Structure formats: C-alpha cells, structure tokens
Structure 1
Amino acid sequence: MMNLIRHEIKIDESFYKVEEVRQLTNETFSLKLPKARFAFKAGQHISLGIHGDYQSREYSIYSGADDENLEVLVKEVQNGYFTPKLRKLKVGDLVEIHGPFGKFGMEPKDAETGKFVFIASGTGIAPFRSMVRTYPEIDYTLIHGVRHSEEAYDRNEYATDRYILCSSRDKKGTYHGRLTGYLKGCTFSPETHFYLCGNSDMIFDALEILKDKGFERDQIHCEVYF
C-alpha cells in the first residue's frame, strides 16, 4: 500500500496579502495590508517587495501605530521599474515586508509635551500622517509642499489651522509657491522641534532657512527620500 505524504505549504511571515488599493490621485495610491504581526513606531519605514520579484524599495509607514491596517503611500514613477508593478497589485496579491527600520520619530512622552513643525514635500507626508494618527493630541503644524493642490493627500484628516498646503503649480493651496518660500516668512517658538521628510533639495534648503532663523541642528530631524 502506498503511503501518501502530505506537504503543507507555509507562507513566510514576511509576506502579506494586499487588502485594499486606495487611489488618491491619478499617480498616487496607498496599499493597505494586515497589521496583525507587525509592530512599529510612528516615523519608521519598511522595505517593500512583490512576491516573486527580486527588487524592493523603502517606504515610510503611512498608518498610525494603533490603526487596524499597515499602510504605505506610493507615487508611481513614469517609466520606473518598481512603482508601476505596485500600481498593478490587486486585493489578495502577496507583498514582502521587512522591518521596521529607522529612528525618525519621537518618544511618546516627547509627543505629549513638545511643540513640532512637520515639513514635507510630496509623499514625504507619509511619516507625519503616522505621527498625527499615533499621537492625536500632539502640538504640531504641518507644512506640505506639492506641485498641484490635488496632491494634498488625506488633507481632511488634519485640523485646518494646523495644515499649510504650499502648491507651486496652482493657486488652490494655502500658499502659492514652494514651501521653502513660505518657510522663510514664518516665525517659530524657540523650543520648536522640526521634522523634515522629502526630496533632498527641499531638505537642504529648509535646513539653511532654519539655521538662519537661529535653530540648532539637534532641533532638526531629517528623512531624505531621494
């Protein structure tokens, strides 16, 4: 009599099924994944890959630490290799996640007592949404620089008096122009801590502006996207 051997296929714990693809603009979307096994601190990032593909990319976590889902914010790069593949993902597809990584964030005690200014360009807003959702009582102002006002991702989640939209290609934002232009005209409390996330040109320019305003380097925290 032949003995039948049952082979059990196990999915590695680093693989997660896509639960939702949420379209935000023609180019930008978020991927919602299960969070049951994944613990992180607001501000951290992950390495994200597609099951069966050899490449991966790093993305800041877009969801709050206590949210039901793990979420990342993605902007498709025209003629890129990786983001067009992410764009084609469907509910039920497998992605591979490693992490979390990074120290771009704050301790819960600091979030309760500190004063913060978040400065983001484009999808660099991702870690700040995570921070605001994780610490609902945080004292913050968010300055978000985009080309078009439609790129104000999930704008309705932020208090209107705390969210400053700087749009360089249209006049529908709070300020028409680059966020660095808005930043130059701002006055901040001496105890403010600044968190910067986005492209390197914006971050380098913002660092010089804040330095000229008298802020010390240890008050400024940076996460460079590219």
Structure 2
Amino acid sequence: LPNTVIIIHPSTDFIWLHNEVVGHLGPLEYLINTPRQHRVHHGKNPYCIDKNYGALLMIWDRIFGTYQVELEEEKIVFGTVSPTPKTFDMITLMFGYYKNVWERFKNGNGFNEKMAALFYGPGWSPGKPRLGLIEEIPEVDYKAPRYIYTPYVAVWKKAYILFHSLVVLIGFYMIVDHPLIKFDPWKITFCMFYLLLVITSFGALFDNRFVQ
C-alpha cells in the first residue's frame, strides 16, 4: 500500500465513524460499519451494551449475535456503565479495563470460569449468560447531569500541545510523501510507539502530572 494510504486511512475512518450526522445508509449497512451502527457501540443504553464490535465489516456481529440497530425512539447516550477513569492518560483509558479482566480470571474457579473471564462480556459472572443480564444494566437518566472530567490546564500547556501536534502532523505527512522513504514493519512500529509516547505525554500534561 502507498504510504499515504497507511497513514491517512485510519484518520478518515475515525472521523467517518464517529459522527451523529449520517443516518441510515440502506443496503450498505449489511456490508460495512457505518456511523449509525457505530453509535450503538458507544452507547450506554441497555440495548447498546456489548453490541456492534465490528470495525469494518458487520457480518461478524450478525454471526455472533452482537449486532444491534439504532432505535429511533430512544436517544443514545454515549459513555460507559462503569465510572470512567478521571484521566486523559491513553494507556489507562485503553487498557485499564484489563485489570478487571485479570481479577476475574484470577478469582475464577476452574478452567471454564477462567476462560469465560477472558472471552465473555464485561457483564458476565458465574451463572449468567455470555453477555450478562440486560436487566442489571441501569436505565439511562436523561435528566441527570453528565460528569465531564475537565481539569484546569494552563494556557502554555495548551499552546505547547497545539504546536507539538502540528509539528507531528506536518512531519508525518512530509515523511509519507518523501520519495526516498519506504515504510517497512520496523519503521511502522517505531512510528506507532512514537505516537504513543506523544499522546501519553499530552495526557500527562492535561492531567497536570508535570510541573504546573
């Protein structure tokens, strides 16, 4: 694949899926993931939990019973059922849940329960279905205020993060368009780890874990 496709496709795909503007796309929704289907994935309404995992194709959700259409009569509230960690640290936000998985695995009785802790849904516990019981998921309270984690961030930090982001963005576009640079697995891995370091550093700045 051309370098530009490798870099640009994930970005456009992210923007394409995460919007509330695009509605029903007809037969296309039988084939690929669309914003309408992906909104369900991010909802914390009971009918949205553990649904629409597909990143590109929706056939796997249909096969394994996790497909769910968006209900027009019920507005989706985005978020998680469990409290969201009060941090901008990407590592914590992306992998923090696996601590719960490890605890369930460690406390499981026998091989079957340990495997279920790894491969069943977050709502599962011994004696419950694979995805847990939907009646145990709290109903959405549309009137309740939604907590938003917004710590104070100094102006100089915001300016630095904006400047650094622009440098990284422009730098990557210059690299992918350079005729003498060809991506290989090692270079792609290096770029991924560098981006991880950058984003983690940004999270630390937003969390005020460095000097004020």
Larger Rg: 1 or 2?
Answer: 2
With a CA cutoff of 8 Å and minimum separation of 6, indicate the structure with the bigger relative contact order.
2
Higher helix proportion, which one?
A: 2
Q: Normalising to structure 1: TM-score of the pair?
A: 0.26
Q: Normalising to structure 2: TM-score of the pair?
A: 0.27
Higher strand proportion, which one?
A: 1
